[in-house]
Amino acid sequence: MKQMRKLLTIFLCLIFLISGCWDYVEVEELTLVRTIAIDYLPERRAPYLVTLAISLPADIAGEKSGSGGGSPTQLFSAVGATLNLAIEQASLNLSRRLFFSHAELILIGEEAAKHGLLHILDFISNHPQVRFNVDLLITKGFARDVMTTTERLEVAITEEMIGMIDQARYSSESDPLQAFEFLQKLVTPGQDAYTALLLKGPPLEEEIAKLKDEQKPGGQEESTEGGAGGANGGGKSEGGSSGSTEDIQEILTMAGLAAFQNDKLVGFLNSHETRGLLWFLGKTNRTFLAIENPEKPSETISLHVARVQTKIKPHLENGQISFSVEVITEGDIRSQTGNTEIFTPEMINKINSAKAGAIKQEMEKAMRKMQELKVDLVGFGTILYRHDPETFRLLEEKWPEEFSKLKVNIVVTSEIRRTGMQSHPARLRR
């Protein structure tokens, strides 16, 4: 007993020695890194360009904005042979200790993504502070350019991007993944990884001004595309705006996906193809579909999709692999451009089949794109593996080629549950 006491006392005293205040840091001595933007500069000795977006505490930011109107985010950049070296380089410019636990976003430039994400993913998973659930976004062009965009609604550009990611989860134009989800997709055999794409371009207002100048009725094209119009506007203008006026304040758009083969970027899916892919994955939520009125093709009906269920089954016949995809959707009618009485059971049946057709068209479009890029973003290979491991093992080596020739049979069933708040279309006085 006495021996025990002695030992216990020694241990108690040791506790103060072995775990001391060595990692004690006051909050105000930290700088919170909110976004890490990673670019790759090929053919240089220090190819990694890291840009850290650092949030300033509200007080200091307040003082600054009171006098000069600066943003509460400061950017620090540095280059290095690896990310860690680059960050160390960047910290030479800093008066405070870098703290990565509050980084919520990692932006990867197009060039870096093409070079390969292996080093970046290793950095994320190995760093003691960087969390595994940071959002991973790919930017077209330099990631650093995105960081210099002026924020519009939030206090800092990071908050703006995080908000956009949250918003993207309520629509079906892109599908931002967190680092661990990306890595999961990457390591699963028979599956290729993707993540959301962040675009920077002039806002639609600039386009409108241009259209007004041209005085052409081309604007109609834009409006018929419904919800996707705004996003597409941003995307399309990417090429055209590069040479135009410089004082245009460019804005960020989250639309489309970046597709990876292994860890290398191979291509982009636009927002339509993205939705096509999401139908396969059953991940579409709350999206709008525009279909032609089955009675009067000149009129458009917009439909809301609320629920999607997708079942994918592999079929093996005579050594030939094919997949059957069954999509079940539910949703409501939201609006129409005319005033046809569309709320009759017969009409609803017709609308249902039109909707199913539209969805199938989108899915086929996405499938063609994926087969063209030879990236199996849906994970047909994984499904085959789970169903018939032997067959997949034989095909594993040449799966991208197999995938590009894959036959997929898509069956869409659609149910319209509600017709919105009205049971009749708006009546015009006759």
Partner 1 sequence: MTSAFSIFKKLNIFKKKEVPTKNRGSAAKKAENDDSPILSERLALIKKRLGESNDVVIREFSSSNDKVKMALLYIDGLVDKKMVNDNILQPILSNTIANQYTEKLTSENALELLQKHITSASELSIAPNLTQALKMVLSGDTALFIDQEQKVIICGTRMWEKRTVAEPETEAAVRGPREGFTETMRINTSLLRRRIKHENLRFETMKAGRRTATEINLVYISDLVNQSVLQELRRRIAAIDTDAILESGYIEEFIEDVPFSVFPQIEHTERVDKAAAAILEGRILVMTDNTPFMLIIPTSFFQFIQASEDYYERPFVAFFLRLLRLFVLNVALILPATYVAVISFHHEMLPTSLLLNIAAAREGIPFPAVAEALLMEGTFEVLREAGVRLPRTVGQAVSIVGGLVIGDAAIRAGLVSPGMVIIVSATAISTFAIPAFNASIALRILRFPLIILGSIMGLYGVIFGLIVILIHLAGLQSFGVPYLSPLVHGTIGDMFKSLIRPPLWMSRTRPDMLKLQQQQRQATNVGKRHVPPEKRELTHEKMEENNAGER
Which of 132, 115, 100 lies closest to 34, judged by CA?
100
Total number of residues binding partner 1 (CB under 8 A)? 30
Q: Footprint of partner 1 on residues 376-415 (CB under 8 A)?
A: none
* Token code pair at residue 128: 């003691």
95 interacts with partner 1 by CB under 8 A: no
For residue 309, give the amino acid letter. Answer: Q
**Quick one: 130 or 301, whose CB is closer to partner 1?**
130
Which H helix or E strand runs over 280? helix 271-281
Whole-angstrom CA distances from 350 to 226, 326, 370, 423 are: 21, 19, 30, 17
Other residues' Cβ atoms within 10 Å of the Cβ of residue 351: 24
By C-beta, is 57 or 240 nearer to partner 1? 57
Compute the distance between CA of residue 193 and CA of residue 409 in angstroms, rounded to an integer.
23
DSSP conformation letters of 218-253: THHHHHHTTTHHHHHHHHHHHHHGGGS-S----EEE
- Segment interacting with partner 1, rule: CB under 8 A, options 16-24, 79-87, 252-260, 337-345: 16-24
SS3 106: strand
If binding is defined by CB under 8 A, does position 7 make contact with partner 1?
A: no
Angstrom distance (rounded) from CA 365 to CA 372: 11
Q: Which stretch binds partner 1 (CB under 8 A): 9-17, 274-282, 290-298, 322-330?
A: 9-17
How far apart are alpha carbons 122 and 115 in whole angstroms? 14
CA distance linking residue 58 with residue 43, whole number of Å: 41
Told to check if 11 binds partner 1 by CB under 8 A, we report no
Among 11, 44, 60, 219, binds partner 1 (CB under 8 A): 60
Binding mask 130-169 for partner 1 (x = CB under 8 A): -x--------------------------------------
Place of tokens 């994926």: 370
Torsion angles phi and psi, residue 182, rounded to 5: -60, -45
Please list every residue from 114 through 133 that binds partner 1, using CB under 8 A. 129, 131
Does position 23 bind partner 1 by CB under 8 A? yes
Q: What is the DSSP string of 351-405?
A: HHHHHHHHHHHHHHHHHHHHHHHT--SS-HHHHHHHH-HHHHHHHGGGHHHHHHT
Report, in Å, the least distance between residue 361 CB and partner 1.
43
Among 57, 219, 240, 389, binds partner 1 (CB under 8 A): 57
Residues 168-227 that bind partner 1 (CB under 8 A): none
Beta carbon nearer to partner 1, 10 or 92 = 10
| Least distance between partner 1 and beta carbon 18 (Å) | 10
Identity of the residue, 5 or 429, whose beta carbon is nearer to partner 1 in the bound complex: 5
70 binds partner 1 (CB under 8 A): no
Residue 256 CA to residue 108 CA, distance in Å, equals 15
Taking the least distance from each CB to partner 1, the nearer of 25 and 118 is 25
Minimum CB distance to partner 1, residue 165 (Å) = 15
Cβ contact 115:138 at 8 Å: no
How far is residue 374's CA from residue 184's CA, in Å, rounded to a whole number? 19
Residue 142 phi/psi, 5-degree rounding, is: -75, 135
What is the torsion angle, in degrees rounded to the nearest 10, for the CA atoms of residue 259, residue 261, residue 266 and residue 271? -10
* Contact range with partner 1 by CB under 8 A, out of 3-11, 304-312, 360-368, 408-416: 3-11
Stretch that binds partner 1, among 94-102, 248-256, 298-306, 345-353 (CB under 8 A): 94-102
Stretch that binds partner 1, among 100-108, 233-241, 326-334, 372-380 (CB under 8 A): 100-108
Task: Work out which of 30, 75, 266, 328 binds partner 1, going by CB under 8 A.
Answer: 30
Among 11, 28, 244, 349, binds partner 1 (CB under 8 A): 28
* Residue 73 vs 172, nearer CB to partner 1: 73
Using CB under 8 A, list all residues that contact partner 1. 6, 9-10, 15-16, 19-21, 23-28, 30, 32, 34, 55-61, 99, 101-102, 104, 129, 131
